[in-house]
Structure 1
Amino acid sequence: MSSSCFVYFCVFVFNRWSNTRQSMASESSSDSMSILAAKICNQINSVFTKSTSTPSPLQITVDEIASAAARCGKIFVYGVGREGLMMKALCMRLAHLGLSAHCVGDMTTPPISSSDLLIASAGPGGFSTVDAICGVAKSNGGRVLLLTAQPETGSSVKYASVVAYVAAQTMADDGDEGTSASLLPMGSVYEGALFVLFEMVVYKLVHVLGQNPDQIRSRHTNLE
């Protein structure tokens, strides 16, 4: 990029930024941080108020993790992109609860066996990598819990031992004709729903596994 083009680019960015600031400053109170946060939280909350098959994704996930813990099995998690970040957040809390929890892809991840559980997420129904990982887990006798918003059409479903339906918008239906406009783009609603779901899962598991705050806190790393 020539120096003159760069200058024009900087001027353009500055003007856009300046106009955006003026626009934000003139916004009504309906667009305040607290109101916007409430709108986003309400949209994520709506995922859990929709009529879905029973048992709920919360009950399924708690039951599967508790069963794996009862048989002294390891728990593996896997997801891609922002879904993967939510899975890693769950994995950290499972480790805090004293479970043998591992993120697929880490250099220290052990092999999966018949006593173990893989929890995988494929919001739009399937990803090539999720399909592959679930296939490997299944072929080695592991139990596969799949979290998805597309339980009927997803390519990952055929590898699942059990499917937890999270009825949220994903990239698969973002912007579909006939659907109401969403505050959040692409798969953000699904990803936010995963985070909330996993917080509920951990809340339930604390009681199921008989853990207390001191025990949970004692397992947090001191290398940070």
Structure 2
Amino acid sequence: MPMTITQAPWLIIGQELTQALSRIDANSFDGLAQIFKNSERRWFFAGQGRSGLSAQMAAMRFMHTGRKVHFVGEASAPSIRRNDGLLILSASGQTPTNLRFARTAKLEGATVVALTGQMGSPLAEIADFALHVPADATAQFGGSLFEQCSLIMLDSLIFRLTAGIPDVHKAMQYRHTNLQ
């Protein structure tokens, strides 16, 4: 979508987000929510580049809900084991580092979940569950639309998982960092 001088860039991005998010399969999202229903499972989040930054932001929100989460590569992240989960964000589904993480997690007996723009990718094939994030029609540079949509999908997952919890914002605020 080429940008015209008469359009505000934030409105163009908003339109792209709306168009991409309207293509998310609701049944697949429900499947994703089902996988994350167990609040006792440890989750590891991963992604490279800006996808990794989106994964870090999502991991933070999951921590705010009281879940046990780690970002792969952080010094305090433990080893992944059986019954843990690994969530990987990858637009291409071909990033070698992510594929190595996914294979290691599978060997250890962990569940692998992918948010990817390419459902036929090696990552989608390895994953136990993959959510297609259709962010291919964009005027933005690189994977910006994928990263934005992935973060919105994971924030939507938090919204779904915390629905009906009394005073959930108060509980999340309590877990929010106070060393700022």
- Structure 2 length-normalised TM: 0.90
1:29-178 matched pairs, under 5 angstroms: 30-31=6-7, 35-50=8-23, 55-56=27-28, 58-67=29-38, 69=39, 72-152=40-120, 154-169=121-136
How big is the shift at 1:61?
2.7
Q: Give yes or no for contact 2:88–2:98 (8 Å, CA) kept in 1.
A: yes
Unpaired stretches in structure 1, ≥5 consecutive residues: 1-26, 170-179
Q: Secondary structure at the match of 1:147?
A: strand
CA distance in 1, matches of 2:167, 2:71: 22
One-letter amino acid matched to 2:9 = L
Greater radius of gyration (CA): 1
2:89/2:150 contact within 8 Å kept: no
**CA drift at 1:161:** 0.7
Please tell me whether the aligned partners of residues 93 and 116 of structure 2 are also in contact (alpha carbons under 8 angstroms).
Answer: yes
Alpha-carbon distance in structure 1 between the residues aligned to 2:31 and 2:134: 14
The 2-side partners of 1:137 and 1:211 are apart by 35
Taking every aligned residue pair, what percent have the same amino acid on both sides? 23
Q: Once superposed, which parts of structure 1, at least 4 consecutive aligned residues long, lie more than 4 Å away?
A: 208-211
* Count of equivalent residues: 177
Is the CA contact 1:79–1:87 (under 8 Å) kept in the aligned structure 2? yes
Contact 1:127 1:155 in 2 (8 A): no
Deviation string 1:63-89 (CA, Å, 9 cap, x unpaired) is 22113x2xx220110000000000000
Unaligned runs of 5+ in 2: none
Whole-Å Cα distance in 2 between the matches of residues 209 and 114 of structure 1?
Answer: 28
TM-score, structure 1 as length reference: 0.73
Per-residue CA distance 1:32-74 (angstroms, 9 max, x = gap): xxx3212111101111222x65623x3233222113x2xx220
Contact residue 32 and residue 129 of structure 2 kept, 8 A: no
**CA 62–135 in structure 1, closer or farther in 2 if over 3 Å, else same:** same
Please tell me the root mean square deviation across aligned C-alpha atoms, in Å.
Answer: 1.9
Specify the SS of the correspondent of 1:76. Answer: strand
